[in-house]
A and B are shown apart, each in its own frame.
Chain A
Amino acid sequence: MQHTTVRAVVVATAMLGLSVPAAVMADWEPTKPVEFVVPAGTGGGADQMARFVQGLIAKHNLMKQPMVVVNKSGGAGGEGFLYVKESKGDPHKIVITLSNLFTTPLATGIPFNWKDLTPVSMLALDEFVLWVNADSPYKTAKEYLAAIKAGNDGQFKMAGTGSKQEDQIITVALDKFTGKKFTYVPFKGGGDVAVQLVGGHVNSTVNNPIEAVAHWRAGKLRPLCVFDDKRMPYKEKVTDTMSWHDIPTCKESGVNVDYLMLRGIFMPGGVSADQVNFYVNLFKKMRALPEWSEFMASGAFNQSFMSGKEYADWVQKAEDTHKTLMKDAGFLAK
């Protein structure tokens, strides 16, 4: 019961916040250093974003108190989420999420749900792209998937980050589409995954743009399609001939699979509306900085921004999607 009331208050004030200038609303401020929890290891996508945010906020003096990044990556991020959950009512902790916000509790059964936290705002969504080695004969997603359909179960190998997480969820969705099974090989980080593909040890990956872009530009990897319902908006040339915008969506190629990963901010449960608002405004200010736009472009992020009820609704929908996907794939903890 408590969760729902907290959420109702959050939602109401967040909606108010949208119509009132930031300066008037910022009546609560952190009184001690803010702990920025990263439920993933150092060097990964979430960690990079958190440290970038920390640097931007410090550089532009957006907050009087310092922000300290803390990695709690144990149990596929479960350690970090449980830590924030246990800090109920502490406004000096925020956590950045990746898809493990949903996948970790579903796959491992740890006692955690995003409703234990207070949604603050979405920072961006991370895209997923289907990549093959540039030496492989497949020029389009259609060709590649046709080859899979014509091949045997397990003949094609997909490398991805972690097990029962976003990469494998997409792989299973592709399995469903082709009717054949990929051999899914989990690795620790997205960088390793991309290199395994460059080295020709696997047939394809679903790396995030930022993880594979360097190899794409060096002519080692080829993007086939992006798992989004519209193309990425970045029209600047990344390689000699192509921009992110030139990559077709998988839907255009007849593959009805889309998936985006949340890069969002949450606070512990039981915090006041004022406190949530402080962070909502903080991230709004940060997103207006030119450095942030550059960072978004470099990783070809989907720049959706939400807060308040809209955000909570989005998260709820995303959770439902994950539940269905993971149930179908047989990934739910028993």
Chain B
Amino acid sequence: MEEFNSLMQGFSVALTYHNLLFMLVGILLGVLIGVLPGLGGANGVAILLPLTFTMPPTSAIIMLSCIYWGALFGGAITSILFNIPGEPWSVATTFDGHPMAKSGRAGEALTAAFTSSFVGALFAVIMITFLAPLVAKFSLKFGPPEFFAVQLLTFCSFVGLGKGHPAKTISAMMLGFALAAVGLDTVTGTLRMTFGTSELLRGFDFLIAVIGLFGIGEILLTMEEGLAFKGVHARINPRVVLQTWAQLPKFWLTALRATLIGCWMGITPGGATPASFMSYGIAKRFSKTGEKFGTGEIEGVVAPETAAHAAGTSALLPMLTLGIPGSPTAAVLLGGLLIWGLQPGPLLFVEQKEFVWGLIASMYIGNIAGLLIVLTTVPWWAAILRVPFSIIAPVIVVICAIGAYTVHNAMLDVVMMMVFGVVGYLFKKLDYPLAPMVLALVLGDMAESSFRQSMLLSRGEVSIFWSNGLVGSICGLAMLMLFWPVISKVLARMRRGNNELDEARPVE
């Protein structure tokens, strides 16, 4: 129980008045950053980083990591209320969160999102506390083929979910891949599809696409339906939190799966965004009410939020133990560590005990504090929906524009956002699904480089994807996911055929 003693010491560090104050400031700033689309945890932390150079490192990282927790919580707010993902990992939360808000259940959706975020984070922190060295070793096993396998699994658990026409799903996805390919090709170091303009050098940012496709697209649709915010009789009931909590325990299996996916993706490091998509996809596939996903199921909020927060939290583990950031925000924090004179890496746990355990203890306290803060705000957030659309819509557009601008400080991005907004509107009108396009845009880049890195390593042998147990089983799992609809049908028929063979259940 050496970890336990260290953790107690950590609490004594984290629980001083000024550290608690920094924590509170961090959470509030973080929620604000999370709410504003585009600003993002990474930018928020980067902007505040220089201010912390005069602080003791432990207080500094406590404050900065609390900004990160706050942003993770806050990202869900605008996704649910306005269909605008404040952060990339909240995209999957919009799928069911926004329909819930539209049918007047915003308070419920927000409570479910915050609570499951907290649960995900809590499990991830417990894992960091007790399994850090073990987990660090596991993440070293991940080379390019393993990364590609993980991305393949994300795609496979997500495709075939939509009810739309398969050809439409595929074309939306291909468009996503094409957009992801614009900019510098990291493997050959040459420019692709920039057509000689310097503005296209940076490629299409996922965040800008998402703000446009979801946020602006939604506003255009609402405008078409008449300038009234339809269907929102946001009942504001302070007891909504307790009522929602009463419903949540029955989703324990979904939450558990989501936590595992999240922790795994945070460590490897895949990141919170793929984790939330994968978790949503798998939850939909295995849920009893899977076919209702997308119409406002609480489970569809629980799954991505739990995974995103578990991944976001566990992303700090490879940062501390290996010096590789599991997320863009972790990358900025990593720079902070170096500047404070701390060397992230295997020895940090040995040499900087006070710092490491103070940080871990602050993860517990910070997340509890974060949950309390955001839960108290639920009725207020839900109340925003009562503001007439004609007033709130211009505000949303302005916030979106600012958000799109902040991503790269580029005016063209604001224009791109509007274009994506029109695309999003057309997609909805023509019944093309948005999710596959967004998924391809966010993962296409990563999947492509891992695939080509693997090909370089194996000198063109595809067999590298089943060359060892780890990559082989992830790829196998991916195939299982891809063909699950077929497999489950076959299995069901077999079971009907011979009831006595009940043991022949799918190995899942």
Contact = CB atoms under 8 A, between A and B. Distances in A.
A and B interact physically: yes
Interface of A: 41-43, 47-48, 51-52, 54-56, 58-59, 69-76, 78-79, 82, 107-110, 154, 157, 162-165, 168, 183-189, 191-192, 194-196, 198-202, 210-211, 213-215, 217-218, 220, 294-295, 298-299, 331, 333
Contact of A184 (B140, B141, B338, B456): B456
B208 to A, nearest CB: 13
Interface of B: 42, 46, 49-51, 53-54, 140-144, 183-191, 194, 198, 201-203, 318, 322-325, 328, 331-332, 334-335, 338-339, 341, 343-348, 408-409, 449, 453, 456-457, 459
B198 A214 contact: no
Contacts of A196: 143
Contacts of A183: 456-457, 459
A75 to B, nearest CB: 3
A78 B201 contact: yes
Contacts of A217: 343, 345-347
Nearest to A214: B345
Given A51-B339, A163-B186, A201-B143, A185 B457 contact: yes
B198 to A, nearest CB: 5
Given A54-B50, A79-B202, A191-B325, A108 B331 contact: no
A82 B202 CA distance: 12
Contact of B54 (A59, A110, A185): A59
Contacts, number: 163
B343 A213 contact: yes
B387 to A, nearest CB: 34
B53 A163 contact: no
A70 B409 contact: yes
A125 B392 CA distance: 52
Given A51-B335, A199-B140, A214-B345, 19 more contacts: A43-B325, A43-B328, A47-B335, A55-B339, A70-B409, A73-B202, A74-B201, A75-B198, A78-B201, A110-B191, A165-B189, A194-B323, A198-B322, A201-B457, A211-B323, A214-B343, A217-B347, A294-B341, A298-B343
A220 B347 CA distance: 11
B409 to A, nearest CB: 6
Given A59-B53, A196-B143, A213-B343, A43 B331 contact: yes
26 contacts: A48-B335, A71-B46, A72-B409, A75-B183, A76-B189, A79-B202, A107-B189, A108-B191, A109-B191, A110-B198, A162-B186, A162-B189, A163-B185, A163-B188, A188-B186, A191-B334, A192-B324, A194-B323, A198-B140, A199-B141, A200-B140, A201-B144, A214-B323, A214-B347, A218-B346, A295-B339
